[in-house]
Structure 1
Amino acid sequence: MKETKNQSDYLSIKEFKRDKFLVKGSKFIATAIPVGSEEEAELWIKKIKKEFHDATHNPYAYVLRQGEIQKSTDDGEPSGTAGRQILSAILSQNLKDILIVVTRYFGGVKLGTGGLSKAYYESALRVLRSCVFIKKELREELVLLFPKKYFDRVQMILNKEKVKVKKLAFGDRARMEIEVSKEIISKLKDELMNKARGEIEFEGI
């Protein structure tokens, strides 16, 4: 099992991957996809089911970082033999923001519950072995509101901490929308509060 180095990082996969293998005539086609929401995952599930509309089963599992969501389904296979096995393969690699659908075409020979469980787990694991794992960082969006006279000081801190500025507007005060790693939010707020002499407000988006 792979582990991330700090609580602001997590592992996902870089891109769409697919793997196929046979077990006693049954064809298993595993599709792994990076996803960021339940809506995106469900859209991909519908797309794959449409692509393999003539398949015997299309069980799946996905894990999302947002809300720590885990979902799986057997799609008509005996309870616990498909979706749960796919989910176990994902969790064994400590991955998030990922969907795996394993399509099965029955080959005429029954595998039994033990054989099915093993085949679905192995199918999911095989496609994961072909994936490139990437480390992703937990980030948060904030709005900064402060007197315009402190703009240069605020900008200097943001540049030093490599904070992304998404939007900037000037009215009575400067308004900046930023995206920042959760790991440094507390430190960043302290620095900005100090540089702006307490005349800065923070709002979540």
Structure 2
Amino acid sequence: MEYPDTFQTIASASEEILLKEKGSKFFGYAFPIAHEDEVKPIIENLKKQHPHAVHFCYAYQLGTAPKISYRANDDGEPSNTAGAPIYGQIQSFGVTNVLLVVVRIFGGTKLGVGGLIAAYKTTAQLTLEVCEIIEKTIDVHFLITFDYKNMNKVMRVIKEKKLDIVSQEMEINEDSGLPFGKIELKTRKKNAEIVFAIFDLMFEIDIKTI
């Protein structure tokens, strides 16, 4: 099965969204993330912003099919009343690489299971609605290594295939004393096999996926 080489995510962190329900306050936040280890520092920062809040419920999704990871956290609310409806909105909006947090300050009146689900779902929905949703490509990175004499040959392919240069450097071969180049490239996943094959067939040029 062939998967798309694009995905949707949010352009930047959202503004704060506030929903009031029977005295309780629900604050919604959305953040673009690339790694799971970004989640904890964000939650800790929100705890400093809301020292009187009891529940910091969240959900996140990372990656694209077929390698998707996600988590939904109720943070002390009844099971599946917070994290699941928050994650449901991530799915509904079709975004990934996103962390969605809803902070609740209890107002003294219990909302019940149905009320909690509705409040967390609505806050999550309103939060994503204010976000700019953008499309990104899934890129494959290559490292090209070549003798300096082959620089023009390499650059010609880069130009013809409209490849993006991430970084480039020149070094001196300790054995020969001659210069050689290293270029990190990226291209859309759908073009990766063709690009790899072109460089792989070229004499005195080494390519590897990184």
Alpha-carbon deviations, 1:51-71, whole Å to 9, x = none? 112112110111111752101
Structure 2 residue aligned with 1:41, among 12, 31, 39? 39
Query: For the Cα contact (< 8 Å) 1:168–1:177, is it kept in 2?
Result: no
Moved more, 158-167 or 13-22: 158-167
Distance 1:55 1:171 in 2: 59
Distance 1:94 1:127 in 2: 14
**For 1:126-145, what aligned pairs fall within 5 Å after superposition?**
126-145=126-145
Distance 1:79 1:182 in 2: 39
Residue identity opposite 2:57 in structure 1: P
Distance 1:176 1:204 in 2: 12
Residue identity opposite 2:12 in structure 1: E
Matched residue SS, 2:56 = coil
**For 1:49-88, what aligned pairs fall within 5 Å after superposition?**
49-65=47-63, 67-88=67-88
The answer on 1:177 being equivalent to 2:184 is: yes
The answer on 1:155 being equivalent to 2:155 is: yes
C-alpha deviation, 1:35, in angstroms: 0.9
C-alpha deviation, 1:160, in angstroms: 2.4
Residue identity opposite 1:181 in structure 2: R
Query: For the Cα contact (< 8 Å) 1:144–1:176, is it kept in 2?
Result: yes
The answer on 1:186 being equivalent to 2:196 is: no
- Equivalence for 1:7: 4
Superposed CA RMSD in Å reads 1.8
The answer on 1:16 being equivalent to 2:17 is: no
Query: For the Cα contact (< 8 Å) 2:82–2:117, is it kept in 1?
Result: yes
C-alpha deviation, 1:154, in angstroms: 1.4
C-alpha deviation, 1:91, in angstroms: 1.0
Query: For the Cα contact (< 8 Å) 2:18–2:27, is it kept in 1?
Result: yes
Distance 1:161 1:109 in 2: 62
**Taking every aligned residue pair, what percent have the same amino acid on both sides?**
30
Alpha-carbon deviations, 1:33-91, whole Å to 9, x = none? 11111111221111112211211211011111175210111010000000111011101
Query: For the Cα contact (< 8 Å) 1:60–1:72, is it kept in 2?
Result: yes
C-alpha deviation, 1:118, in angstroms: 1.1
Alpha-carbon deviations, 1:95-121, whole Å to 9, x = none? 111111101111222111011011101
Residue identity opposite 2:29 in structure 1: T
The answer on 1:101 being equivalent to 2:101 is: yes
Residue identity opposite 1:178 in structure 2: L
Larger strand fraction of residues: 2
* Count of paired positions: 198
Query: For the Cα contact (< 8 Å) 2:199–2:206, is it kept in 1?
Result: no
Residue identity opposite 1:59 in structure 2: C
The answer on 1:203 being equivalent to 2:195 is: no
TM-score, normalised via structure 1 length: 0.89
